[in-house]
Amino acid sequence: LVSRMRSFGTTIFAEMSALAVRTGAINLGQGFPDTDGPAAMLDHAVHAIRSGANQYPPGPGVTELRQAVSEHREEHYGLSYDPDGEILVTVGATEAIAAAILALCEPGDEVIAFEPYYDSYAASIALAQARLVGVTLRPDGGRFAFDPGELRAAITPRTRVILVNSPHNPTGTVFTREELTLVAELCREHDLIAVTDEVYEHLTFDGVEHVPLATLPGMRERTVMISSAGKTFSVTGWKTGWICAPAPLVGAVQTVKQFLTFTASAPWQAAVAYGLRHEREWVAALRASLQDKRDRLMEGLAAAGFEVFRPAGTYFVQTDIRPLGFDDGVALTRRLPELAGVVAIPTQVFYEHAERGRPFVRFAFCKKDEVIDEAVTRLKRLS
Query: What is the C-alpha separation between 261 and 63, in angstroms, rounded?
Result: 18
Give the helix ranges, DSSP H, for 233-279: 247-260, 267-278
Query: What is the C-alpha separation between 131 and 361, in angstroms, rounded?
Result: 26
Of positions 26, 31, 167, 264, contacts ligand GLN by CB under 6 A? 31
Q: CA torsion, points 163, 169, 173, 179, in degrees to nearest 10? A: 0
In the complex, the smallest distance separating the C-beta of residue 121 from ligand GLN, rounded to whole angstroms, is 12
DSSP run (H or E) holding 126? helix 120-127
Among ligand PMP, ligand GLN, none, the one that 319 touches (CB under a kind-dependent 5 to 8 A) is none
- Residue environment code for 122-149, b if the CB has 16+ CB neighbours within 10 A, otherwise e: bbbbbbbebbbbbbbbeeeeebbbbeee
Of positions 8, 13, 152, 251, contacts ligand GLN by CB under 6 A? 13
Query: What is the C-alpha separation between 293 and 364, in angstroms, rounded?
Result: 10
Which residues contact residue 83 at a Cβ distance below 8 angstroms, ignoring those fewer than 6 apart? 63, 66, 67, 69, 70
Which residues contact residue 289 at a Cβ distance below 8 angstroms, ignoring those fewer than 6 apart? none
Which of residues 57 and 116 has its CB atom nearest to ligand PMP in the complex? 116
Cβ neighbourhood burial of 46 (10 Å; 0-12, 13-18, 19+): exposed
In the complex, the smallest distance separating the C-beta of residue 120 from ligand PMP, rounded to whole angstroms, is 7
In the complex, the smallest distance separating the C-beta of residue 189 from ligand PMP, rounded to whole angstroms, is 26
Which of residues 165 and 173 has its CB atom nearest to ligand PMP in the complex? 165
In the complex, the smallest distance separating the C-beta of residue 169 from ligand GLN, rounded to whole angstroms, is 5
Closest CA to 367 of 96, 14, 31: 31
Q: Which of residues 185-204 bind ligand PMP (CB under 6 A)?
A: 197, 199
User: Does 347 interact with ligand PMP (rule: CB under 6 A)?
Assistant: no
Which of residues 30 and 348 has its CB atom nearest to ligand GLN in the complex? 30
Among ligand PMP, ligand GLN, none, the one that 241 touches (CB under a kind-dependent 5 to 8 A) is ligand PMP
Which of residues 120 and 223 has its CB atom nearest to ligand GLN in the complex? 120
Region of 87-95, 123-131, 247-255, 346-354 interacting with ligand PMP (CB under 6 A) = 87-95
User: Does 228 interact with ligand PMP (rule: CB under 6 A)?
Assistant: yes
Distances (CA, A) of 318 to 53, 143, 225, 315: 41, 10, 25, 10
User: Does 236 interact with ligand PMP (rule: CB under 6 A)?
Assistant: yes
Of positions 169, 173, 215, 347, contacts ligand GLN by CB under 6 A? 169
Query: What is the C-alpha separation between 95 and 102, in angstroms, rounded?
Result: 10
In the complex, the smallest distance separating the C-beta of residue 13 from ligand GLN, rounded to whole angstroms, is 3
Region of 90-98, 129-137, 145-153, 293-301 interacting with ligand PMP (CB under 6 A) = 90-98
Tell me the torsion sign for CA atoms 362, 367, 371, 372. positive
Which residues contact residue 287 at a Cβ distance below 8 angstroms, ignoring those fewer than 6 apart? 202, 203, 204, 205
Count of residues interacting with ligand GLN (CB under 6 A)? 5
Among ligand GLN, ligand PMP, none, the one that 165 touches (CB under a kind-dependent 5 to 8 A) is ligand PMP
Among ligand PMP, ligand GLN, none, the one that 30 touches (CB under a kind-dependent 5 to 8 A) is ligand GLN
Among ligand PMP, ligand GLN, none, the one that 166 touches (CB under a kind-dependent 5 to 8 A) is none
Of positions 37, 241, 267, 313, contacts ligand PMP by CB under 6 A? 241
- Give the three-state DSSP class for 313: strand
Region of 235-243, 266-274, 350-358, 372-380 interacting with ligand PMP (CB under 6 A) = 235-243
Bridging pattern class, strands 342-343 and 345-346: unpaired
- CB contact at 8 A, 5 and 126: yes
Query: What is the C-alpha separation between 195 and 245, in angstroms, rounded?
Result: 10
Among ligand GLN, ligand PMP, none, the one that 279 touches (CB under a kind-dependent 5 to 8 A) is none
Which of residues 94 and 223 has its CB atom nearest to ligand PMP in the complex? 94
Cβ neighbourhood burial of 66 (10 Å; 0-12, 13-18, 19+): buried
Residues that bind ligand GLN (CB under 6 A): 11, 13, 30-31, 169
Which residues of this chain interact with ligand PMP, rule CB under 6 A? 92-94, 118, 165, 169, 197, 199, 228, 230, 236, 239, 241
